[in-house]
Amino acid sequence: MFVLKFSIAGQDQVLRTFSRWTDALSDFSPALEKIADDFLELEASQFASEGKTGSGGWKALSPDYAAWKAVHYPGAKILERDGWLRDSLTVKDAPFGVREITPTQAVLGSSLPYAMYHQTGTRKMPARPPIELSESDKTRWGKLVHKWLYEMARSI
């Protein structure tokens, strides 16, 4: 059996179980690579839309911080002050990007320490989750694995 599970800040986001055809397989990395590539596209859309793609939009910046940011980082969108967080989640092999794929697992995300604060929020800052999966994302990933399993079964 193969379980597709995606956790964000300790919360399960995708949980799909595949039992057909999986007993003879031990390397799911080709399917996980496809999911990782799709993740980059999903995140690019999330940043381009300032969170609207996954969650309906990130909360606006406080007026004081928005004014400071407009002076010091003119034109930078929410969560894009220096672009490191965006790039770490949208560009393959970017600095601070996490893409670790093994035969049975993919770990994707950002190693920037402040990424978690944006994902979950703090006492002084609302959550602006850069990673937010919609139901259609979860379904698409499940179908991607299913299609790959089907192709593998046909080649046996």
Q: How buried is residue 66: exposed, middle or buried, by Cβ count under 10 Å (0-12/13-18/19+)?
A: exposed
- Give the model's pLDDT for residue 152: 77
Distance of CA 91 to the CA centre of its chain: 12
With a cut of 80, say whether residue 52 has pLDDT above it.
yes
Average pLDDT over residues 118-147: 91
DSSP class of residue 73? S
- Provide the 3-class DSSP secondary structure of residue 13: strand
Report the mean per-residue pLDDT for the chain.
88
State pTM to two decimals. Answer: 0.87
The sign one gets for the Cα dihedral 149, 153, 154, 156 is positive
- Give the model's pLDDT for residue 9: 75
- Give the model's pLDDT for residue 135: 85
